[in-house]
Structure 1
Amino acid sequence: MADARRIEVLVPMRWGDMDAYGHINNVQIVRMLEEARIAAFGPPRGAGLPGIEPQVSLFNDVPEGTMALVVDHKIRYVRTLEYRNIPAPVQVWIGAVKGASFDIHYLVQDPVTREDCVRASSHLAFVDEATGRVLRLTPEQKQRIAPFTV
């Protein structure tokens, strides 16, 4: 049963993402996580031209001079993700929300069998570009991500 607090996005697997065994290379998994995060929560402010609107406008709607930075990644490879010429479903949701940081969780599945292949999380923080100091999450930011917090 689908959890309404999770956002599902489809992330393409590229031919060049394969390793010698026909699996998606572990480095490319990190790229897929990033693509899922951007599709779900928007690109960083000022990154390129507008495109498809994210499901939740979070990263592209921060004040000027604010950076959304990844602090940490944790990745668990449950089973190999075989290359397929169709996008992989990636579920994305918010985990722990703290005063100045939060976790984004991911579940990457095989697009044919829907078996779980990768479970991962990214710890993120907003940082003031001029000072390098971590910024506290605003009440508005917490409110935007609340419906997707598990």
Structure 2
Amino acid sequence: MARHIYACPMRWSDMDAFGHVNNVVFMRYLEEARIDFMFTRAAEAGAGEFAGGSVVARHEIDYKAPLVHRPAPVTVETWVTRIGGASVTVGYEVKDTNEDGTELVYARASTVMVPYDLAAGRPRRISAVEREFLSHFLENEDVPAAA
């Protein structure tokens, strides 16, 4: 299946006092990639309901290697690991691909997202259109479990 690829720009302010990208900033990178995937890309495919409301129910992240600031963006790959009736679990890898083709993974993570009806103030079911879009990115890989 396909993965959504996002080139995430790095900012000077992403670094912490130890000279590497702060752990909280990794969550922002995941958010940027998820917004691009679930809002922008889904809307382009005709499944833009997520942009009308969704909430994060859970995050889980495993840090694998330090990431230092540089001018080039870092790659965030995003895919779907589970589609439920009223939630979807998104998997991520924050990484670089070296010139020799090897990969350096800085973090692996997962997020459980719940579609949310903002007007009603409650979660809603995943629509058939959303399910169809998400199914193109479905992989059952071993990423941090986020029920």
Q: If the length of structure 1 is used for normalisation, what is the TM-score?
A: 0.81
Question: What's the CA shift for 1:63?
Answer: 8.1
User: 1:70 is matched with which residue?
Assistant: 56
User: 1:138 is matched with which residue?
Assistant: 127
Q: Which amino acid aligns with 2:127?
A: T
Q: Which amino acid aligns with 1:62?
A: E
Deviating beyond 3 angstroms after TM superposition, the runs of 4 or more aligned structure 1 residues are 110-114
User: 2:94 is matched with which residue?
Assistant: 108
Determine whether 1:6 maps to 2:33.
no
Question: What's the CA shift for 1:110?
Answer: 3.5
Q: Which amino acid aligns with 2:108?
A: R
Question: What's the CA shift for 1:111?
Answer: 6.0
Which has more helix, going by share of residues? 2
Q: Is the 8 A contact 2:47 2:130 kept in 1?
A: no
User: 2:142 is matched with which residue?
Assistant: none
**Structure 2 stretches of 5 or more lacking a match?**
140-147
Q: Which amino acid aligns with 1:148?
A: F
Q: Is the 8 A contact 1:86 1:111 kept in 2?
A: no
Structure 2 Cα separation of the partners of residues 125 and 106 of structure 1: 17
Instruction: Identify if the C-alpha distance between structure 1 residues 63 and 14 changes in structure 2 by more than 3 Å, giving closer, same or farther.
Output: closer
Q: Which amino acid aligns with 1:11?
A: C
User: 1:33 is matched with which residue?
Assistant: 30
Matches within 5 A, 1:14-93: 14-42=11-39, 54-57=40-43, 61-62=48-49, 66-93=52-79
Instruction: Identify if the C-alpha distance between structure 1 residues 63 and 12 changes in structure 2 by more than 3 Å, giving closer, same or farther.
Output: closer
Q: Is the 8 A contact 2:38 2:50 kept in 1?
A: no
**What is the total number of aligned residue pairs between the two structures?**
135
Question: What's the CA shift for 1:59?
Answer: 10
Instruction: Identify if the C-alpha distance between structure 1 residues 60 and 31 changes in structure 2 by more than 3 Å, giving closer, same or farther.
Output: farther
What SS does the corresponding residue of 1:56 show, helix, strand or coil? helix
Q: Is the 8 A contact 1:82 1:110 kept in 2?
A: no
Q: Which amino acid aligns with 1:87?
A: P
Instruction: Identify if the C-alpha distance between structure 1 residues 63 and 76 changes in structure 2 by more than 3 Å, giving closer, same or farther.
Output: closer
